[in-house]
Every structure is written in C-alpha cells, then in structure tokens.
C-alpha cells in the first residue's frame, strides 16, 4: 500500500491512496458537534411520539418471533453433536483459510480470495474493498459468516418448510443489516467522504435522518427520491381523459383517443390497490396507457380509493362489485359493446381472476379476453412474502387494522422493501445518512413512496383466503352461496410473468396458468415486477420468452424450450389482442353521449396521500 509524505495510508475514489490525516481539525471538531446535535434531534423525533403515547414503543412481539424462529434452527444443529461439530468445523476452517491468506498477503505473496462477492452485489464495488487489506479482510470475514449462516438454514432439512422460509428471510435481513458497508469505519467510501469533507457528510446525513423521522411522525421513512420535483397531474399521470364513474371504492377513467378509429372491443385495466394506478401512466415515454391508446384501444382504468375508516368493511367482493362489475356496466353503457378486453396487474389480476370465476358461474360473458400482469392465482410458490403469512402474524395484522379500520400504507411499503433490502433500504441508509447525499429525483421511486392504505376487511380476506389457505386456486371460495372455480374460466388468457419478480415469482405465475379452463398464452419478461411490465418498445430494453402452453410448475423446463426475443413484449401482446378480434370502429369520446364526465384525469382519488 502506498504512503503519503507523512507515512499515512491513502485511498481515493478511483482506488488510489488518499491521506488519512484530518485536513481541517477545527472544522472536523465543529462538525462532530453538529453531527451529535443532529443525532439528538433524530432521537427526540423518534422518542417523542412514543412518550406521548401516539406510537407504541413495544417491539417485543416482532423480536420474539425472530428469536423463536432462529432458535429452531439452532436447536436442529445442536440436537446431535455430530451436526454441531460439522457446522462449526466448516466455519472455523474457512476462517483459518482467510487468516492464512491474509498473513501471506501481508508478507507480499499474491493470494486468491477465499470469498468473493456476487458480481451483482454493488456494496463492494469500491476498489479499496479489494486493494486495502483491512477492508478486504472485513469483507471476506462478513461473506464467509453470512453465507455459512444462510447455509445452516438451507441444510436444516427436518424443519417445517414455513419455519425454514422465515428463518432464511430473517438471516438475510440480519446479514444485510450488519454488512460492513453500512458502518463508518468499515466502509472505505464513507470514511473517504468523512475525511475529505471534515465530516460535512455526517452533519448533512444526521440532519436528513432527523427530518425523515419527523416526516414519518416518529418512524423512519427513508427518502428514496427527491419528491419535490413531482406532482400527480403535472408531470405524472398526464394522459388526457375524464373520470366517468365514482363510488366508495374507485373512480373509473376513460382516456381520450388519438386515432380516428379504434378497436371495437374496449380495454378495461384493473390495477392493484396496494399501489396507485399511475405506474401505468408514469410519464409519456413510459406510459402503457398512452401506448395502448396509440394502438387504437379505448382505454378505461380503475383508480382505487385510498381508503380510510369509511372503507373498513369493504371486502374483496365489494371491490369486485363496486370496482370491476360497476366499471363493466359503465364501459358497456358508453361504448355499447358486450365484448370487452380486460387487464389485471398484480393483486388487481387476482381480483380480476376472482371476478372471471364469478362471471363464469352466473353466465356473464362481457369479458372476452383477459391479460394478467405479474399475477398470482395460486399461492403455493408465492416466495418470500409468505414469510409474513401464518396465523399468528395475520392475527397481529388484523389487530392492528381493527384500531383504525385499515392498514397503514407504510407497512406494506416496508414489507416490499425488505424483499430487496440491500437495494431499497441499506443503499439509501448509506448514501443519505452516512454520505450525506440527497437522492436524485426519480419518478418510479416517487410512485413507490406514494403509499396506499389497505381496508381491513379486504386485506384480511386476501391474506387469509389467498396467501394462507390458497382457497381461490382450490375452488373453496363462494359468492352468494355459489362456488367459484377458475376452471370455469374458458376465455383466452395472456399470462405475463417477470423473471426477477420478488412479489409474484415467475414459477408461481406459471403454475397459476394451469388452473384456468381455457387457452393460456404464457410469456416471461426480463427484469422484475415493475420494470418487466413497464417496458415500452421505444427503449429497446430487456427481452421476453414465448413458448408452448404452460403445464404444472416446471417453469425451467418450459424456459428450456422457449424462444427468447429482444425488447418489449408489448407488441407481442398487441398482436395477441388483435388475433382475438381486430374489428375497428369510429373513435369514442370519454363518456360519449350517455355518461357525464365528473372531472379530468387522473382524478381526485389518486391524489389522496396516505
């Protein structure tokens, strides 16, 4: 390692050495005092609402759940002495290899690393994680330890699968939290910033931390974007249209056409109520709504209400009747059409599938084709979100919802962020609060932070009947005493999964195809739950796979015979839609002559903040 004239080790942002000497001791001392003052403000913002009784300070239940779960893994490995010795020997053997490698490297011998980060892991990209022996040792020690802990969970074969799933999730969360990249003295980037700026970064960071806790009314809401640059209806959700229906659960928007003729079948889009619909109309370049209008669709989109206590008793069935079925009535009234194409996204697709089964049972044939974006109808392979689903945890959520009649949006946001905690939590902790960097304006992350609440009856039904008991796929749900069966749904279905989806895993979506009674076209898109769906052709990003009809849950077998195609799947979907019926008629104005417009798109419901 190179030395400066004083003999100090040095490291710069490009991997070259920098001085470890504090450049301005007086300023550094002043900034440390300011940082402590900022920490005090943050602590006060955290403690005051708990002292006032506005927030509970009791985390006992959550901590006890983690301890109980991990204790079962420890019990498995200590139950037999042979297992315990085997586990310890493997860990200590790797530690010894690392120590030996480090000693040899210090004596000038070039040694290959014992543990190497995943190439996609951005935490250790700074050259000093490899070039500096201290940081390299800390990094490898961390990787060896956390990978060993994860392996101990994976190899606990006799544990209940749900316990093992939870234990693996908790171990990953703990491992991500204790990463050396998250601490001042073990992260070369933070240390460099601190020394170069005489701790200006820490002052800014503590100020932001205090602001974010205060903005969350005592709970830390990590800022992911500079939200001051965005406003719904001004630079987000800009497609022109009118609200033509409004009730206690939703508004319905009809978008203005920009072609002289349009497809005869109108298009109704059912977005999730867990997030706001404008992910489909983020900006003109990324807007699926705008693109669909340009292809000649008469587009209708449901905009769900951001509920409060008045919607506490609104159930899944209410969302079907007052959301989808009421919207179908309005679409039919405006267009005069009895055949309608429908799209459902995420839980909106689950509700759409529930509705299709109901409509099939009562002989309602108005939906002629359905498209599902990243939608689960069977929850056997639902992935890491099942960590939060068991009787005890659902009871805890229901107890929480019973106080106000809804679940706060920040609870759902936190759960989703934990699925990718390195990217969506810890990277912002490091950049915001240690490096003192304001996040850049980013429309997608603004949308992600624009949380929605969950009505108690609806959310409880969804958690219990879908995630916990899987009743939709198993045909155990009823409406008006009549059983619902996805097998009765015989219309053509376009079922889109995304390859890196943590919310609706592709294997789960693929397996769900098997439950419908009609033809299913399965398509796998590159990227994840959002980017894989919102991928306009003009950007030329990612890819998608098409292949034979899906059967069972053998996604990898299907993928082995599928055809990979570059770019967006949107044109493929458009060709599929037109293959059902490409008849065109004169373009329709929002509301037509039969329905009076209520207000301009995007409407008022979407602007209500949680």
pLDDT at 489: 98
H or E, element range at 175: helix 161-177
Q: Which two tokens stand for residue 144?
A: 């060896």
- The candidate with the shortest Cα–Cα distance to 335, out of 580, 601, 587, is 587
Q: 195 with 22: CB under 8 angstroms?
A: yes
Q: Match 């749904």 to its residue by tokens.
A: 489
Answer yes or no: are the C-beta atoms of 245 and 322 closer than 8 Å: no
pLDDT at 16: 43
Q: State the pLDDT at residue 414.
A: 86
Contacting residues for 21 by C-beta, under 8 A, at least 6 apart? 6, 8, 195
What residues does 493 pair with on adjacent strands?
Answer: 370, 520
Q: Which one, of 571, 568, 523, lies nearest residue 545 by Cα?
A: 523
pLDDT tens per residue, range 294-332:
999 999 999 999 999 999 999 999 999 999 999 999 999
Q: How many CB atoms lie within 10 A of CB 146?
A: 18
pLDDT of residue 11: 39
First-to-last CA distance in the chain? 52
Task: Report phi then psi at 378, rounded to 5.
Answer: -120, 140
Q: What is the pLDDT of residue 461?
A: 96
Instruction: Compute the C-alpha angle 517/520/525, nearest 5°.
Output: 145
pLDDT of res. 6: 32
Residue 464, strand partner residues? none
13 to each of 204, 281, 563, 566, how far by Cα in Å? 20, 38, 43, 36
Alpha helices by DSSP H, 363-490: 391-404, 409-419, 421, 427-428, 443-449, 456-462
Q: Which stretches of the chain drop beneath a pLDDT of 50?
A: 1-16, 18
- Closest by CA to 580, choosing from 342, 302, 257, is 342
Q: Which active-site residues does the annotation give?
A: 346
Query: For the chain, percent helix, then strand, then coil, each to nearest 5?
Result: 50, 10, 40
Q: Identify whether the C-beta of residue 584 lies closer than 8 Å to the C-beta of residue 551.
A: no
Determine the Cα–Cα distance for residues 550 and 516; give it in Å rounded to an integer.
Answer: 11
Distance CA 275, CA 413 (A): 9
CA 212 to chain centre: 21
User: Cα separation of 513 and 463, whole Å?
Assistant: 21
pLDDT digits (tens, 9 = 90+) for 429-462: 999 999 999 999 999 999 999 989 999 999 999 9
What is residue 58's predicted lDDT score, i.e. its pLDDT? 61
Rounded to whole angstroms, the Cα distance separating 133 from 121 reads 20
Distances (CA, A) of 551 to 21, 507, 514, 522, 547: 64, 11, 6, 10, 11
> Is this model's pTM higher than 0.95 or not?
no
């Amino acid at each position: 390692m190179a030395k400066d004239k004083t003999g100090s080790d040095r490291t710069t942002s490009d991997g070259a050495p920098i001085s470890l000497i504090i450049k301005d001791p007086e300023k550094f001392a002043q900034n440390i005092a300011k940082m402590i003052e900022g920490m005090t403000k943050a602590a006060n913002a955290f403690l005051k609402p708990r002292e006032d009784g506005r927030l509970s300070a009791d985390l006992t239940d959550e901590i006890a759940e983690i301890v109980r779960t991990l204790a079962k893994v420890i019990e498995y490995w200590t139950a037999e002495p042979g297992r315990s010795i085997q586990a310890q020997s493997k860990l200590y053997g790797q530690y010894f290899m690392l120590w030996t490698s480090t000693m040899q490297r210090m004596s000038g011998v070039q040694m290959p690393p014992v543990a190497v980060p995943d190439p996609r892991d951005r935490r250790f990209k700074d050259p000093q994680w490899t070039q500096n022996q201290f940081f390299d040792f800390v990094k490898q020690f961390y990787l060896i330890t956390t990978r060993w802990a994860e392996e101990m969970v994976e190899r606990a074969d006799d544990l209940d699968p749900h316990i093992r799933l939870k234990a693996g999730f908790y171990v990953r969360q703990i491992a991500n939290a204790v990463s050396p990249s998250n601490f001042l003295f073990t992260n070369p980037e933070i240390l460099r910033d601190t020394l170069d700026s005489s701790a200006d970064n820490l002052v800014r960071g503590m100020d932001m931390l205090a602001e974010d806790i205060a903005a969350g009314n005592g709970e830390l809401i990590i800022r992911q974007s500079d939200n001051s640059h965005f406003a719904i209806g001004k630079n987000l959700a800009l497609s022109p249209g009118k609200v033509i229906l409004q009730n206690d659960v939703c508004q319905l928007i009809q978008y203005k056409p920009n072609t002289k003729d349009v497809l005869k079948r109108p298009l109704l889009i059912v977005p999730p109520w867990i997030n706001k619909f404008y992910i489909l109309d983020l900006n003109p370049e990324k807007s699926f709504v705008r693109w669909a209008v340009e292809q000649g669709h008469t587009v209708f989109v449901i905009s769900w209400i951001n509920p409060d206590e008045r919607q506490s008793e609104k159930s899944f069935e209410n969302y079907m009747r007052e959301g989808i079925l009421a919207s179908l009535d309005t679409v039919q009234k405006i267009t005069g059409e009895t055949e309608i194409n429908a799209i459902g996204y995420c839980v909106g697709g689950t509700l759409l599938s529930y509705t299709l089964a109901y409509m099939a049972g009562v002989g309602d044939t108005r939906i002629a084709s359905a498209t599902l974006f990243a939608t689960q109808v069977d929850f056997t392979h639902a992935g890491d979100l099942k960590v939060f689903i068991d009787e005890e945890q659902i009871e805890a959520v229901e107890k929480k919802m019973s106080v106000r009649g809804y679940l706060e949006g920040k609870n759902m946001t936190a759960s989703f962020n934990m699925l990718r905690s390195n990217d969506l939590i810890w990277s912002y902790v490091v950049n915001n609060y240690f490096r003192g960097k304001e996040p850049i304006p980013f429309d997608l992350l603004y949308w992600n932070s624009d949380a929605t609440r969950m009505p108690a009856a609806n959310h409880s039904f969804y958690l219990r009947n879908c995630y916990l008991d899987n009743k939709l796929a198993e045909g155990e749900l009823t409406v008006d005493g009549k059983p619902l069966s996805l097998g009765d749904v015989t219309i053509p279905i376009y079922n889109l999964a995304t390859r890196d989806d943590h919310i609706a895993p592709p294997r789960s979506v693929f397996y769900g195809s098997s439950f419908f009674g009609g033809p299913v076209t399965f398509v796998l898109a590159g990227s994840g739950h959002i980017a894989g769906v919102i991928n306009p052709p003009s950007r030329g990003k990612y890819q998608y796979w098409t292949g034979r009809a899906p059967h069972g849950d053998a996604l990898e077998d299907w993928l082995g015979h599928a055809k990979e195609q570059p770019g967006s799947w949107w044109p493929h979907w458009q060709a599929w839609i037109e293959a059902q019926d490409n008849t065109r008629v004169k373009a329709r104005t929002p509301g037509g002559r039969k329905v009076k417009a209520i207000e301009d798109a995007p409407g008022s419901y979407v602007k209500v903040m949680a």
